[in-house]
Homo-oligomer: A and B are copies of this chain.
């Protein structure tokens, strides 16, 4: 009786002295292909025929670091302070790349696909989609930023996409959404890095459900740097400090008998 359920994969094959990724000998890729090429190979199943690897690397650089102004990095540093191995603290950070932190890439890519599927006049379709979000009290994922206005990474990514041959329909749609924000939301909402990443994800032909992949792949070097800094520069056991906490629960009371 074999393993149940059986293991199968189309990603890579390991045999003694051989590691093949999507059919390619991994050893031949070492030092010959960029990390961006291999990321693309793993996600898309093929080595880049053109600039895909460079485009991936630009996205990874854009999403790589935002200091402690990010829930994921803060979580990683708290956990690091408690005395855990490097990878475990980085993992705590990674868990935090949630729907409100990188997850806007998926949601925004889904929006672009919806707009493309809508048919009819594109600008009208976009305005309708944006208005329906507004009516539901929801935000437009990929637009606006809590610190930046505009987020300088977005325009830069679109410029690089243009240079590398990825300034196509999806980048156009991303700008078209930005253009309706003032009318729909009553203020201009500049595209943020997630919005630009969503457009480029689709330009690269990747599945929209891989939207968070850019953050999942881009953030670990920063997690490593922050965990290492926390563990080598700060005192162990960081907490928020009991004096800094406002308790607003029930007053002191006696347990029932």
Residues of A within 8 A of B (CB): 1-36, 38-39, 42-43, 45, 47, 49, 54, 57-58, 60-62, 64-72, 74-76, 78-79, 81-92, 94-103, 146-153, 156-157, 159-160, 163-164, 207, 209-210, 212-213, 215-218, 220-226, 228-229, 233-256
A252 to B12, CA, bound (A): 10
Number of copies: 4
Inter-chain contacts of A149 with B (CB < 8 A): 16-17
A236 to B72, CA, bound (A): 13
Inter-chain contacts of A1 with B (CB < 8 A): 2, 243-244
A87 to B245, CA, bound (A): 25
Given the known inter-chain contacts A24-B253, A160-B30, please indicate yes or no for A239 contacting B61, CB distance below 8 A: no
Query: Smallest CB–CB gap between A164 and chain B, Å?
Result: 8
Query: Smallest CB–CB gap between A31 and chain B, Å?
Result: 3
A79 nearest CB neighbor, chain B only = B96
A210 to B45, CA, bound (A): 31
A29 nearest CB neighbor, chain B only = B61
A242–B79 touching, CB < 8 Å: no
A83–B101 touching, CB < 8 Å: yes
A235–B5 touching, CB < 8 Å: yes
Q: Give the residue of B35, B91, B152 whose beta carbon is less than 8 angstroms from that of A60.
A: B35
Inter-chain contacts of A13 with B (CB < 8 A): 67, 245, 247, 249
B79–A72 touching, CB < 8 Å: yes
B237–A43 touching, CB < 8 Å: no
Inter-chain contacts of A65 with B (CB < 8 A): 11-12, 19, 21, 26, 38, 42
A45 to B253, CA, bound (A): 13
